[in-house]
Amino acid sequence: MRLSFNNIIISLGKDQDNEIIKEMEKRGIKKNNIKSIIWNKRSIDSRKKFDIKLIYNLEVELKKRIDITSLKNVSLIKDVEKIARKPIFSINKEVAIIGSGPAGLFAALRLAEYGFIPIIFERGEEIDKRDITTENFIRNSLLNPNSNIQFGEGGAGTYSDGKLNTRIKSEYMDKVFETLVECGAPSNILWDYKPHVGTDILKIVVKNLREKIKLLGGKFFFNHKLENIHIKNGKIFGITITNLTGTTEFHNFNSVILAIGHSARDTYKMLHKNGVEMESKAFAIGTRIEHFRCDIDRMQYGKFADNELLGSATYNVTYNNRAEERGVFSFCMCPGGIIVNASSELNTSLVNGMSYSQRNGKFSNSAIVVGIKENDFGDHLFSGMEFQEKLERKTYELVEGYGALYQGVLDFMKDKKTTHEIESSYEMKKTSYNLNNFFPEIVVNNMKSAFEYWSKNPIFISKNVNLIAPETRTSAPVRIIRDINGMSVNVQGLYPIGEGAGYAGGIISAAVDGVKIVDLAFTKIN
Ligand code: FAD
């Protein structure tokens, strides 16, 4: 018999396991009848810094059945029968997948599990080589436009904080989380309210996932870039791929899953040229804000700042400009992480954040971004994308190479250039610049109002806090329109998935989208 107990609140200073048992007994469950306890969720309530609490949702298995009608706040867990699906056999078994980010990899795994043969074409390198190339970029400013922080095995998420929280709810979440654990992620991601893995573990997971897909019959081609698609009578019949030597190859495919991520601007343009229906969409831009980690830990956890059950602190800040219907918010917070140059195009620069599993670096950073509406910077399909690109080129020119712009947050608020050097986790060249003169007015004004609003917190906005900019690629500036089964609305056999297609906004939602579209498009209910 399995029972579910939610909202069990225990003070941080207490022995958690003992307190959980005591709480079970209070709720009418005898200790010697408990077979096992599984944490389904654990979150932190740090609103009262002097008494931080941990909140558990538990699944308790009992040795002997009991009558629960008189017990409070308990519910019986019933086994839910999973809907069985089977592959649609009329579809050609070989399916091309473009991109090996979370969306592409999880689509490949799902297809392979159903007996299809996923053939994955990835423009970047496999993870070990990508690592060397990325390091070479950071140390020597040599950018490989096909293999970098955005492109290569594992996709954009490989060099990330590996935050696995998502706002979506989906029947496929368990499948994704369990697969990540099978491939080497720690099992606490199954219950932590804010699960994360870090770039070091993600690299292991990605490699294991690749091997799993290969064992099931999948094939991987790295350094293979989708150059063109071929359509006849509204149906896709093939793709052109450029390999490492620059040779182009034509491959016959009737089903092509596009999992290209949000940075493949050249591929977006090629799709548009071929008439694939797309629309522009809202996105956000701004800057990274960087604090000393110890300050953020103290801001969130007070005297418990070093408690190992809590780890490095995260935060979430928002500001709403009602008059403009525009939000300013923190995004992709990296506790104990570093700021990196996430460029994927020659002579452009932008930043993003990543961290290692221990999250024990000297700094904590997050993006502070302002919402950009579809037509803020022009009315055509790629105006948003061109706006991002313009800022990235301007950065490269101002820095005179690959690097970032910086400014103290207080100086930004006073419209004053920072005259001193700063301490930062960002390793490439940093140039002091007044960001008031860099971003357009919409961004500057909203960001200033938000900082003003947040300055009630003297730790969050203070003299040691710096802005490192620009953060331009928070999500895709376009959406590739698809029908309810995931197929492009005007090209049969083409399935746009994940973040690049505009249907996901992070590692988990991209992975879930990959699994979901395979189920919808390639299988039917048994
Ligand atoms: P991607 O992961 O972008 O993968 C797309 C793949 O397609 C790439 O590997 C690319 O090389 C390939 N590709 C593109 N065009 C072609 C082509 N023409 N031919 C062949 N291959 C092609 N999200 C989180 O949830 N948590 C985080 O902590 C987090 N941190 C991040 C940190 C950084 C530095 C970055 C850059 C992103 C971060 N993200 C994070 C966002 C997350 O990585 C993405 O949301 C996610 O990877 C999207 O998955 P995807 O599979 O849709 O696309």
- Residue 130 beta carbon below 6 angstroms from any ligand 1 atom: no
- Residue 163 beta carbon below 6 angstroms from any ligand 1 atom: yes
**Residue pair 184/159 in contact by the 8 Å Cβ criterion:** no
Domains in the chain, please, with CATH?
Answer: 2-76 (3.30.70.2700), 91-279+479-525 (3.50.50.60), 282-471 (no CATH)
**What are the beta bridge partners of residue 283?**
372
- Residue 384 beta carbon below 6 angstroms from any ligand 1 atom: no
Alpha carbon of 317 to ligand 1 centroid (Å): 24
For atom 33 of ligand 1, the residue with the nearest CA is 160
What's 29's DSSP letter?
-
pTM, full prediction: 0.94
pLDDT tens-digit map of 292-316: 999 999 999 999 998 888 999 999 9
DSSP run (H or E) holding 518: helix 507-522
Residue 65: Cβ-neighbour burial (10 angstroms; 0-12, 13-18, 19+): exposed
Separation CA 364–CA 334 (nearest Å): 6
- Residue 199 beta carbon below 6 angstroms from any ligand 1 atom: no
Separation CA 452–CA 410 (nearest Å): 10
Alpha carbon of 187 to ligand 1 centroid (Å): 23
Here the tokens at position 33 are 């009848």
For atom 24 of ligand 1, the residue with the nearest CA is 506
24 to 21, 214, 501: CA distances (angstroms): 5, 45, 47
**What pLDDT shows up at residue 162?**
83
Separation CA 266–CA 279 (nearest Å): 16
- Residue 220 beta carbon below 6 angstroms from any ligand 1 atom: no
- Among 403, 357, 349, 81, smallest CA distance to 201 is for 357
- Residue 509 beta carbon below 6 angstroms from any ligand 1 atom: no
Residue with tokens 């390198």: 125
β-pairing verdict for 256-258 and 94-98: parallel
For atom 12 of ligand 1, the residue with the nearest CA is 99
Alpha carbon of 255 to ligand 1 centroid (Å): 22
pLDDT tens-digit map of 41-55: 999 999 998 899 999
Separation CA 47–CA 220 (nearest Å): 48
Helices (H), 194-280: 199-215, 265-273
- Residue 149 beta carbon below 6 angstroms from any ligand 1 atom: yes
Amino acid at 256: V
Alpha carbon of 450 to ligand 1 centroid (Å): 28
* CA-based radius of gyration for the chain: 24
258 to 103, 115, 118, 148: CA distances (angstroms): 9, 20, 12, 19
- Residue 395 beta carbon below 6 angstroms from any ligand 1 atom: no
Q: From the CA of 104, give the closest atom in ligand 1.
A: 51
- Residue 476 beta carbon below 6 angstroms from any ligand 1 atom: no
- Among 222, 227, 218, 273, smallest CA distance to 251 is for 227
In this prediction the ipTM stands at 0.98
Separation CA 409–CA 454 (nearest Å): 12
**What pLDDT shows up at residue 78?**
84
**Residue pair 431/399 in contact by the 8 Å Cβ criterion:** yes
* Coil vs helix vs strand at 90: coil
pLDDT tens-digit map of 62-89: 999 998 888 878 889 887 777 788 999 7
**Residue pair 115/93 in contact by the 8 Å Cβ criterion:** yes
Q: From the CA of 165, give the closest atom in ligand 1.
A: 25
**Residue pair 404/340 in contact by the 8 Å Cβ criterion:** no
Convert 173-194 to b/e letters by CB count within 10 Å (16 or more is b): bebbbebbeebbbeeebbbbeb
Separation CA 141–CA 349 (nearest Å): 11
Alpha carbon of 21 to ligand 1 centroid (Å): 43
Determine the residue of 120, 144, 151 to mutate for testing ligand 1's pocket, defined as the one with the most ligand atoms within 8 A of the Cβ atom.
151
- Among 438, 450, 440, 412, smallest CA distance to 329 is for 450
For atom 23 of ligand 1, the residue with the nearest CA is 506
pLDDT tens-digit profile, the chain (526 residues): 999 999 999 999 899 999 999 999 988 899 999 999 999 899 999 999 889 999 999 999 999 999 888 887 888 988 777 778 899 977 889 999 999 999 999 999 999 999 999 999 999 999 999 999 999 999 999 999 999 999 999 999 899 888 898 877 788 999 999 999 999 999 999 999 889 999 999 999 999 999 999 999 999 999 999 999 999 999 999 999 999 899 999 999 999 999 999 999 999 999 999 999 999 999 999 999 999 999 999 999 999 998 888 999 999 999 999 998 899 999 999 999 999 999 999 999 999 999 999 999 999 999 999 999 988 888 899 999 999 999 999 999 999 999 999 999 999 999 999 999 999 999 999 999 999 999 999 999 999 999 999 999 999 999 999 999 999 999 899 999 999 999 999 999 999 999 999 999 999 999 999 999 999 999 998 8
- Residue 499 beta carbon below 6 angstroms from any ligand 1 atom: yes
**Residue pair 29/79 in contact by the 8 Å Cβ criterion:** no
For atom 45 of ligand 1, the residue with the nearest CA is 506
Residue 379 burial (CB count, 10 A) = 8
